[in-house]
Amino acid sequence: MTEVQHLLSNEITDSWKLAGRNWGTSLHRIMSRTGSFPPSLARWAVEKFSDRGDIVLDPFSGKGTAPLEACMARRIGVGNDLAPEAYVATRAKVNAVPLREVRRWVEEAARLMRPDTVSVYDVEEEVRVFFHPQTLKQILAVRELLQESDDDTANFVKALMLGILHGSSEISLSLPCSHSFSMAPAYIKKYARQHGLKRPVRNVLACLLRKAEAVLADGLPPVRGACFNTDALKLPLADQSADLIVTSPPYFNIQTYAWDNWLRLWFLGHDYRKVGKRLFGTQSVEKYTEFMEKALREMHRLLKDNRFCVLVVGEVKLGKNRIDMAELLTDPAERAGFTARVIIRDSIRKGHKYLMYLKQWQGVGRERLLILSKGEPAMRERRLEWREVGVG
């Protein structure tokens, strides 16, 4: 049995930690979503463990960070996420469209939309709390136009809309609130009253265009990828179709993705309660390990021989216990056929903690990378002599 090697992220000479906080192409900023990892980490894993033209898969792609970084590094990025808003964001990144396509869509929408004929009183009160009636009428008109279409341009516009639906910038359509997650209506109502917050009147199509200009400022990725919206336990891909897997699986149920995105899901025509039932989540270590073993078996099936699988996990507090997910997943990964090679430990700096709004007992303390291999990849050829990588 191969011994697992342990490294600290600051022992790696070319660590992703060296990248600045806002590192990454402008397309990453189409929509923020809780629980995502930094683009620089995804790029590091992609460049270390794959070559140009390779297929890089993320079966739990969230907002699509890893597939986009794969495309940026001239690999074919393939994403999948069961959550509808995550699918829209990932697809928008791997199948982005040029600005002229967005302009064309906006011009057409301006001709077709009749916001004055739309009634806002058919909409749930929880949604109306966030928007001025004039803005909401336009949102409803855009939503109706988008609901019928599923081409790449319509998907890209959906992602842009999700990116401006709520937040506190001058192009956000809601009253000032969080951009990363949809706040609870009862809370925001009270908060808005206490702080005298106003629901802004916006020109939705103008805001959409400004968002597109910002997001496409650095241009399109050099390579297009692909995206699925299905269960990671059963992906519609042939055996051995990926050259590398880079993924961050669900972290027990500390992340309530469906509730966090309830307003975005409303915009896309979904009920967050139904979506929440489909996404995986549990507080039971046993159920979690069982689910992850199945997910790892599927990853093992999809990965080519002599290739790597990189899992970005964490150290999680569950009740009174502290669980190192890299350690926890080592046995299930080996039962699924992988060899555990390296665990890289890291500290998420205070204040940068992307899960800050969670209660202390729920938070992810430290990031961990669990690097697995299927077979025996040629480490030397790939310049992956672990001790040479570290400076310690």
Ligand X SMILES: C[S@@+](CC[C@H](N)C(=O)[O-])C[C@H]1O[C@@H](n2cnc3c(N)ncnc32)[C@H](O)[C@@H]1O
Contact pick of 36, 40, 95, 174 for ligand X (by CB under 6 A): 36
With a CB cutoff of 8 Å and minimum separation 6, the contacts of 170 are none
H helix runs in the chain, sequence order: 39-49, 65-72, 84-94, 99-112, 125-128, 133-147, 152-164, 185-195, 204-215, 257-260, 262-267, 272-278, 285-302, 325-335, 386-389
- State the minimum distance, in angstroms, from the CB of residue 5 to ligand X: 24
Nearer to ligand X, 299 or 340 (CB): 299
Nearer to ligand X, 118 or 265 (CB): 265
Nearer to ligand X, 155 or 248 (CB): 248
The footprint of ligand X on residues 63-122 (CB under 6 A) is 63, 65, 81-83, 86
Distance CA 11, CA 1 (A): 25
With a CB cutoff of 8 Å and minimum separation 6, the contacts of 196 are none
Segment lying near ligand X (by CB under 6 A), choices 34-42, 122-130, 197-205, 213-221: 34-42
Nearer to ligand X, 82 or 96 (CB): 82
Q: Which residue number has the CB closest to ligand X?
A: 62
Contact 171, 210 (CB under 8 A): yes
DSSP letter, residue 151: S
Burial label for 80, CB within 10 Å (0-12, 13-18, 19+), is buried
Nearer to ligand X, 73 or 279 (CB): 279
Instruction: Please give the single-letter amino acid code of residue 294.
Output: K
Nearer to ligand X, 178 or 339 (CB): 178
- State the minimum distance, in angstroms, from the CB of residue 382 to ligand X: 23
Nearer to ligand X, 30 or 141 (CB): 30
With a CB cutoff of 8 Å and minimum separation 6, the contacts of 178 are 166, 167, 168, 357
What burial letters (b/e) apply to 138-166, b meaning 16+ CB within 10 Å? bbbbbbebbeeeeeebbbbbbbbbbbbbb
H or E stretch including 228?
strand 226-228
**Does position 163 bind ligand X by CB under 6 A?**
no
The footprint of ligand X on residues 191-250 (CB under 6 A) is 231-232, 248-250
The footprint of ligand X on residues 243-272 (CB under 6 A) is 248-251, 257
**Does position 364 bind ligand X by CB under 6 A?**
no
Contact pick of 62, 77, 84, 176 for ligand X (by CB under 6 A): 62
- State the minimum distance, in angstroms, from the CB of residue 368 to ligand X: 13
Nearer to ligand X, 83 or 140 (CB): 83
**Does position 60 bind ligand X by CB under 6 A?**
yes
Contact 138, 113 (CB under 8 A): yes
Nearer to ligand X, 55 or 313 (CB): 313
Show the site string, 328-347: x = touches ligand X by CB under 6 A, - = not.
--------------------
Show the site string, 273-302: x = touches ligand X by CB under 6 A, - = not.
------xx----------------------
First to last CA, the chain: 24
- State the minimum distance, in angstroms, from the CB of residue 217 to ligand X: 21
Q: Where do contacts with ligand X occur on this chain (CB under 6 A)?
A: 33, 35-37, 60-63, 65, 81-83, 86, 231-232, 248-251, 257, 279-280
